[in-house]
Structure 1
Amino acid sequence: MYGDASEQTSWPSGKPSLARGAGQHVLVLAGEPDIAELLATTLELAGYRITLTGAAVEALVHLDALRFDLLVVDADLPDLAGLGAAGRPVIAHRPPVLYLTAYDSLDRLLPELGLGEKDYVAKPFRVAEVLTRMLLLLRAADPGRRPDRRPDRAPGYGDLVLDDTLCRARRGARNLDLTPAEYRLLRHLLVNAHRVLSKEQISRYVWGDFRGDNAIEQLVSRLRRKVDRDAPVLIHTRRGFGYWLGRADAAG
């Protein structure tokens, strides 16, 4: 079975911490919901910026429009094999790619993507190995990059800003006194501004597993009392779907 997201946050006493990113932008191509959710949650917690897609054609569009530092591909995605050269976007920047595959070699993997450095992790995979191989590919692709460098811009929205170095948040001039769970929730909402996140997505990001018994509602309610004391209101409910962050008048 695949390692869960909580595996990457810490080890039991005596074990080393897992490899972490430094704000690199990673495109994750995975069609199976469990794998996609595990990768997106784990890699965000490990310090990466994530764009997630479940279709190879859509991934090529993203690659044509944006510059990514790394591509993580579930090689068992059905439409990989049917992706031909005709009509696909031209990829100007070719990031390294990490394949997640049940095969023992890369011979059967799609060659048409024509990406740069390649590596693979055999499925079922462990989160620790995925993170380590990602870091090795990134270092090989950009040997001059300092491994501890962080993105220039902290996560934020308007006057709501996080400081990941000190794990603090403020809105305008007012510091927010957040618990660790509230901080993780706010960060997840900020990184996914104007995107509705389900209760399960939030729960797995905040705690590493799914929690019922109104745990998410209570957590969101506590965070709202701290964040939305000032106008405009930024945390919203999409009934039956989940929660999202942003100005309501900018959502349309």
Structure 2
Amino acid sequence: MQDGPQRVTTNGDSERPNVARLFDYYLGGAHNFAVDRAMAEESIRRFPVAEMARTIRSFSRRVVRLCVEEMGIRQFLDLGSGIPTAGNVHEVAQSLDPSCNVVYVDHDPVAVAHSRTMLRDNLSAAIVQADMCDVGAVLRHPETRRLIDFTKPTAVLMVGILPYVRSEPAGVVARYRAALCPGSVLALTHLTRDVEPGLVDQLVDMVDGMESELVPRSKQDVEEFLCGLQLLEPGLVLAAHWRADGELPGTSAAADASTYGAVGVVSG
């Protein structure tokens, strides 16, 4: 019997916790096991990670609604999607217009396996197993080509994933931006130490050893990722505050202050 926290893995072993299933639990999903729930509760005691997950999920929902209702976008590419649990992109988009197409991308075989099961009856949504940093592989994948026509406006979502990109994240964002036609949208969130450095450092320490590393970045760093895009109001702000009128505030001010969010439009 192992003492202390168990190592989080990306394999399908139900005896060990998995990152994708942890976030499924944080978001109120049902695709997790007892071992995931135990570690999730331990992490919640140390850091408001569940509130942070819900903050960025709320941001994602607002972006999807904006794209469908106000911008006429019907194609979505969700990078680093994890398990498409409650309130994910295809549920929100297709509830507004069933013709919306959604491609999820994740490299974790557990997230991919759960996603394929969940999406097997949805011909307008699919999961691609790939590293989002391999932009060519993502864009050329048969499922991507089946569901997304990049000559038409498309929304690329990078919600919660860029802190896991250690090498040249601005270049990764730029390569996706280059594939988009005018009128397309690129939305992102990013972990930051700018407001709550002590708390975010605790989160980084907690994630250390989980087969992943988190890299918080400053507002100036994130602004570089958005070069060449026309930012929608209110620009690059804390994700909890991005067009959040009418939504209940987060239960944790610290969690709300740990993530930036922005939405940019590709101009002609």
TM-score normalised by L of structure 1: 0.30
| Max Rg structure | 1
Which structure features the higher share of helix residues?
A: 2
TM-score normalised by L of structure 2: 0.28
